[in-house]
Amino acid sequence: MMWYKRYIGIFLLLGLVTSVYAQKEERGLIRKGNRLYKDSVYVDAEVNYRKALEVNPQSTVSMFNLGNTLLQQNKVQEAMEQYVAASRVEKDKNNLAQIFHNMGVIFQSQKDYAKAVEAYKESLRNNPKDDETRYNLALAQKMLKDQQQNQQNQDQQQNQNQEQKQEEQKKDQQQDQNQDQQQQPPQNQQQDKNQMSKENAEQLLNSVMQDEKDVQDKVKKQQQIIQGGRLEKDW
């Protein structure tokens, strides 16, 4: 029984030594990354911060510094991912204030002013004395207001253009209808024209019938002459 306790104690001691060694390695990598960052050697600084995260995946210092390094390399989306990850783990208010401040800077650079305002507000909740964040917040709020006003003006202009276009379409349709009505004769004129055509047809028919009667009369007279008869004078 005593041997068992001593055995566990040895393992606990080894675990403590390993943890201390890991912390020492992590701090060494972070310090090296910081020196490289200060010298603007951002690619090598990124490598060291990532190695530090391999040693301790919960290191918010490594996440935050890695985010800054990525931001210097214009890897904005990757930097934001590191800041978000750090904000979920970090407990220190001052560190949280810096994390949200940098997130606000990214949102502001992307003209997402609504999210920038919220990030700056969150930063000030953790550190109300940060004047730089307060200035950035005021600037982001002004730019958000201007953006909303511009969007409102654009929407109004678009609505006006749409209404004008619909009005022009109505006018074009009305003009087309008026032209069609002008090309078609009025109904009473059409009826008169049809009536006149009917009367002309009747007159033509009567004329043809009269001509046919005259022809028949002449034929009868000629037949009488041929037969030797005498024609009576017309009354």
The per-residue pLDDT for range 87-113, each reduced to its tens digit, is 999 999 999 999 999 999 999 999 999
| CATH code at position 76 | 1.25.40.10
Report if residue 102 sits inside a domain. yes
Q: pTM surpassing 0.75?
A: no
Q: Is the pLDDT of residue 133 over 90?
A: yes
Of all residues in the chain, what percent carry a pLDDT higher than 90?
Answer: 53
Report if residue 77 sits inside a domain. yes
- 66 and 98 both lie in a single domain: no
Q: What is the pLDDT of residues 21-72, one digit of tens each?
A: 778 899 999 999 999 999 999 999 999 999 999 999 999 999 999 999 999 9
- 67 and 48 both lie in a single domain: yes
The whole-angstrom separation of Cα 196 and Cα 203 is 11
Report if residue 52 sits inside a domain. yes
Q: What is the pLDDT of residues 193-218, one digit of tens each?
A: 555 566 666 676 666 566 666 656 65
Report if residue 124 sits inside a domain. yes
- If one counts the domains in the chain, the total is 3
Mean pLDDT of the chain: 80
Displacement of CA 40 from its chain's centroid (Å): 39
Report if residue 231 sits inside a domain. no
Phi, psi of 232 (to 5 degrees): -80, 150
- 120 and 81 both lie in a single domain: no
**123-128-130 Cα angle (round to 5):** 75
Q: Is the pLDDT of residue 15 over 70?
A: no
Range of the domain at 137: 91-146
Q: Which residues contact 93 (CB under 8 A, 6 or more apart)?
A: 126, 127
pLDDT value of position 4: 37
